[in-house]
Amino acid sequence: MWAFALHRITGATIFFFLFVHVIDTALVRVSPQAYTEVIATYKTPIVGLMELGLVAAVLFHGLNGVRLILIDFWWQGCRWQRQMLVAVCAIWLVVMVPVVVRIGMHMAERFL
């Protein structure tokens, strides 16, 4: 149940990011100065944390999506769905640790 809800939340989050990304990129055609100002607002610690959240959302959504495909198309998918969820969470955690370190180092360089 939680994986279902989290999959929907991460999907909506990714959609929102893509929507904002298209809008701010299109702004360069309207007003390069406004585009530069918008991009400057992205260089804050809060947005750095949001970038980390976006990476976490994309990674979980992708891994859980593969799990859902396996549940739907593998003849033993329903039987192994709980173990696959544990595997998704473990892989997510193993990949997120170096991501947090790398993004943290990048944020430290920018803001300290």
Instruction: Please state, as a whole number, how many other Cβ atoms lie within 10 Å of the Cβ of residue 84.
Output: 20
Burial-class residue 24 by CB neighbours within 10 Å (0-12, 13-18, 19+): middle
Q: How many CA atoms lie within 13 A of 33 on its CB side?
A: 0
Q: How far apart are CA 54 and CA 27, in angstroms?
A: 22
Spatial distance between the Cα atoms of 81 and 33, rounded to a whole number of angstroms: 51
Q: Is 21 annotated as a binding residue?
A: no
Binding-site residue set for heme: 61
Binding-site residue set: 61
